[in-house]
Amino acid sequence: MTLDLGTMRGALEHERDRLRAAIESVNHTGSLEEETGDLAIGSDDHIADSATETFMRELDEGLEENAEHLLDEVEAALRRIDEDTYGTCEVCGRPISEARLEAVPWARLCIDDKRAQEGRR
Ligand SMILES: [Zn+2]
């Protein structure tokens, strides 16, 4: 495999930190509002404020669940790098394509099995 595991690990760790921060923000909405309120004092950056509010509303509307699910997937992918099973389909045992891993670094199924799984739903 020519896939650079160091690069993939870096991408996964970045995603994990981002998701953890997002989940943390939702779980402490009250304190976050206070923090952004403090930051807004004396600031003209209203666009950034409203963007943050929109982001938080979207998180409140069910994204928290998705973020936690995604975080599980990302952490599982990091474990697979440690265990040297990263990039191998859990169903058929064949390598997952590099293009797919670059698009979805936490993918645990090859594209064929992923499609088959979604088709069964
Ligand atoms: Zn497969």
Tens-place pLDDT, residues 39-76: 544 545 555 666 666 666 555 556 667 899 999 999 99
Per-residue pLDDT tens over the stretch 1-43: 568 999 999 999 999 999 999 989 888 765 545 555 555 445 4
Amino acid found at 99? A
- In angstroms, rounded to a whole number, what is the distance separating the alpha carbons of residues 103 and 111? 12
Query: How many angstroms separate the alpha carbon of residue 16 from the centre of ligand 1?
Result: 25
Cα 89 to ligand 1 centroid, rounded to whole Å: 5
Q: Which residues surround ligand 1, an ion (CB under 5 A)?
A: 89, 91-92, 110, 113
pLDDT of residue 57: 59
How many A from CA of 113 to the centre of ligand 1?
5
Give pLDDT, residue 78: 98
pLDDT for 26: 80
State in Å: Cα 78 to ligand 1 middle: 19
- 4 CA distance to ligand 1 middle (Å): 21
Tell me, yes or no, if the pTM score tops 0.75. Answer: no
Q: Which domains does the chain have, with CATH numbers?
A: 5-120 (1.20.120.910)
